[in-house]
């Protein structure tokens, strides 16, 4: 929690006023038994209504002031807790966006979602309850003990013994549950990851009839989580019974000893009632404190998990140079290689080529050959681990990420649209794009007719993930989105896989015929998509086994010939 305290700094006033008003309420609560003692010992025996009424009105006044103080304390505590959690969630979300793809791969999306939502909510609950009760409960406990000493020192020793025993019980359980809570949160991550994986891959699961297997896997993960939660629950469940037993035994001892002292005339009935009330206050507050500490233990475990995310230093360092027109005169790979984190084998090795503005570079190979990995190096989604990537004469690591990525349009393998409208999705490419620029991008992406046929046109609603569009429609709209920014480099990462051959050919023709054609990288598994590229890289197991034009590779590269034969050489006749 200490590392997260910086986000509490704007709420210093609330963090002071909240506990202060709670202490004010507790102070009035400690006065109540004294008034009751006076009512029993003096007002009622007097036989007059005035003293009784005055005591009653005083008790009512204390209750009203205590209520007002409690509500005010709740307001300040809630304001601080909600403001703190909002700022923290924003900070974590912003920090996640500074992490590289490699960092995100190591963390996993499921645990990040859990920490952004459930963990921060638990921290918010801990802050809220802590501001209200963390000072109030000990104040009442020790205040009641001190007030008991002002009434009768001998009987007050019972309070001392009870408080000592209860603190041993409470803190013993706290120390025991802290590591257990951490394990519960870890197991929760596992369940969340399995649920997310199943929901995102539900079509594949049903296609392969793996519902039973996945249900069984999810059941096993839930059983592990259940066992961890039961273990914590059994341990913490002992807290309330133990505290109640100790306190009720103390009440019995207090009443017995007090009754003997009342009978001996050294203690009044009102004073005994006051002592009993103080013991009851201690009972209630220690139970509250015990439950509060359980909550704070959970919150502390969640706070550590949130801090772990914030403590991660981005593995990718930003450059200092702006990307200039001179840098864009060429893009060169010199003996480039990359190995993913915790992977023994290199994903790419010894990749060398040079591409220039207006050219089309085809990248082809089988599944897992490293095609996507290669194009991910261009916008620095991943950093190469060997060799050198140059824009002009400038190493890619010296360029500012914002400047580099601002010149690149990326259409990923999986077309991703966001909830909103077609227009709002296209404006991701360039928020200041004009109507004409939007339609120009749609025409090139072969999506203009699609948009015209929609009742809303550019204002046609887009559901989350683009669920109301087919795969081919999503791909064309994501290509248009990338073209809206007029990128100097366009990366099409197998982004035409859902398009028919005629539409794919029309798209490539439109890209070539643009007045300012970008340097285009086309990743594909079929030769018809890269046939007319200026140069084609053929990848196999992370190595470049061929580099040249379509005709050259048919002659010199067996791997390319095999891919061409499988994809069907006659397909090329419909393109161009």
Closest CA to 281 of 143, 134, 133, 130: 143
pLDDT digit of tens for each residue in the chain (576 aa)?
A: 567 888 888 998 999 999 999 999 888 888 888 888 888 878 777 778 888 888 888 889 988 998 999 999 999 999 999 999 999 999 999 999 888 888 888 887 778 888 888 889 999 999 999 998 888 888 888 888 888 888 888 888 887 888 788 778 877 777 777 778 778 877 887 888 888 788 878 878 888 888 888 889 889 999 988 888 888 888 777 777 887 788 788 888 888 888 888 888 788 888 888 888 888 888 788 778 777 877 888 888 888 889 988 988 888 888 899 999 888 899 999 999 998 876 667 889 999 999 999 899 999 988 888 898 999 999 999 889 899 999 999 999 999 998 999 899 988 878 888 889 999 999 988 888 999 999 999 999 899 998 998 888 999 999 888 888 888 888 889 999 999 988 999 999 887 776 777 888 888 888 888 888 889 999 988 888 888 889 999 999 889 999 999 999 999 999 999 888 886 544 444 444
Q: Are 148 and 278 in contact (CB under 8 A)?
A: yes
Write down the residue that tokens 């197998």 correspond to.
494
**What pLDDT score does 531 carry?**
85
What pTM was computed for the model?
Answer: 0.72
**What pLDDT score does 390 carry?**
93
Q: Alpha helices, DSSP H only, in 360-421?
A: 371-377, 401-406
Q: CA 79 to CA 179: how far, in whole Å? A: 30
Q: CA 230 to CA 1: how far, in whole Å? A: 26
Q: CA 180 to CA 184: how far, in whole Å? A: 6
Give the per-residue SS3 of 299-315.
HHHHHHHHHHHHHCCCC
Pairing of strands 348-355, 331-338: antiparallel
Q: Give the C-alpha distances (Å, rounded to integers) separating 521 from 83, 396, 494, 499, 537.
A: 46, 17, 10, 17, 10
Write down the residue that tokens 């089988």 correspond to.
366
Kindly state the DSSP code that residue 574 receives in the 8-state scheme.
G
Domains of the chain and any CATH numbers: 3-179+238-311 (1.20.1560.10), 316-407+489-495+519-576 (3.40.50.300), 413-486 (3.40.50.300)
């Amino acid at each position: 929690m200490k590392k997260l305290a910086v986000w509490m700094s704007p709420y210093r006033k609330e963090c002071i006023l909240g506990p202060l008003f709670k202490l004010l309420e507790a102070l009035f609560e400690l006065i109540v038994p004294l008034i009751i003692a006076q009512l029993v010992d003096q007002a009622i025996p007097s036989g007059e209504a005035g003293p009784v009424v005055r005591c009653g009105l005083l008790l009512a006044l204390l209750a009203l002031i205590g209520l007002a103080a409690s509500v005010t304390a709740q307001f300040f505590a809630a304001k601080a807790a909600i403001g703190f959690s909002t700022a923290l969630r924003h900070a974590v979300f912003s920090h996640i966006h500074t992490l590289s793809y490699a960092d995100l791969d190591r963390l996993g999306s499921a645990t990040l979602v859990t920490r952004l939502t459930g963990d921060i909510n638990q921290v918010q609950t801990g802050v809220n309850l802590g501001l209200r009760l963390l000072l109030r409960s000990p104040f009442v406990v020790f205040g009641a003990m001190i007030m008991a000493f002002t009434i009768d020192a001998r009987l007050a020793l019972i309070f001392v013994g009870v408080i000592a025993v209860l603190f041993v019980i409470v803190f013993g359980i706290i120390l025991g549950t802290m590591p257990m809570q951490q394990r519960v949160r870890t197991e929760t991550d596992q369940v969340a990851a399995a649920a997310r994986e199943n929901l995102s891959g539900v079509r594949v699961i049903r296609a392969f009839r793996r519902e039973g297997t996945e249900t069984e896997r999810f059941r096993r993960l839930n059983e592990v989580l259940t066992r961890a939660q039961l273990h914590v629950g059994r341990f913490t469940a002992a807290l309330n019974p133990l505290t109640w037993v100790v306190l009720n035994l103390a009440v019995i001892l207090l009443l017995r000893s007090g009754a003997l002292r009342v009978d001996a005339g050294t203690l009044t009935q009102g004073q005994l009632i006051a002592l009993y009330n103080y013991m009851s206050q201690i009972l209630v507050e220690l139970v509250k404190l015990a439950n509060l500490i359980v909550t704070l233990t959970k919150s502390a475990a969640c706070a550590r998990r949130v801090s772990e995310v914030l403590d991660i230093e981005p593995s990718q360092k930003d450059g200092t140079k702006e990307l200039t027109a001179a840098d864009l005169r060429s893009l060169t790979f010199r003996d480039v290689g990359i190995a993913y984190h915790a992977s023994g084998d290199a994903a790419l090795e010894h990749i060398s080529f040079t591409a220039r503005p207006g050219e089309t570079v085809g990248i082809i190979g089988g599944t897992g050959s490293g095609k996507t990995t290669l194009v991910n190096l261009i916008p620095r989604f991943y950093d190469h681990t060997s060799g050198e990537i140059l824009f002009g004469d400038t190493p890619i690591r010296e360029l500012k990420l914002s400047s580099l990525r601002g010149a690149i349009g990326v259409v990923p393998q999986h077309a991703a649209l966001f909830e909103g409208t077609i227009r709002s999705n296209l404006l991701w490419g360039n928020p200041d794009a004009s109507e004409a620029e939007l339609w120009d991008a749609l025409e090139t992406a072969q999506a203009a007719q699609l948009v015209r046929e929609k009742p809303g046109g550019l204002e046609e609603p887009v559901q989350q993930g683009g669920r109301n569009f087919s795969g081919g429609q999503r791909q064309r709209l994501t290509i248009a989105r990338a073209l809206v920014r007029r990128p100097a480099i366009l990366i099409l990462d197998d982004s035409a896989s859902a398009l028919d051959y005629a539409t794919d050919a029309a798209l490539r023709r439109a890209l070539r015929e643009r007045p300012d054609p970008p340097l285009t990288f086309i990743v594909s598994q079929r030769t018809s998509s890269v046939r007319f590229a200026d140069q084609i890289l053929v990848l196999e197991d992370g190595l470049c086994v061929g580099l040249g034009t379509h005709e050259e590779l048919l002659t010199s590269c067996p791997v390319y010939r095999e891919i061409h034969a499988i994809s069907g050489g006659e397909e090329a006749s419909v393109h161009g």
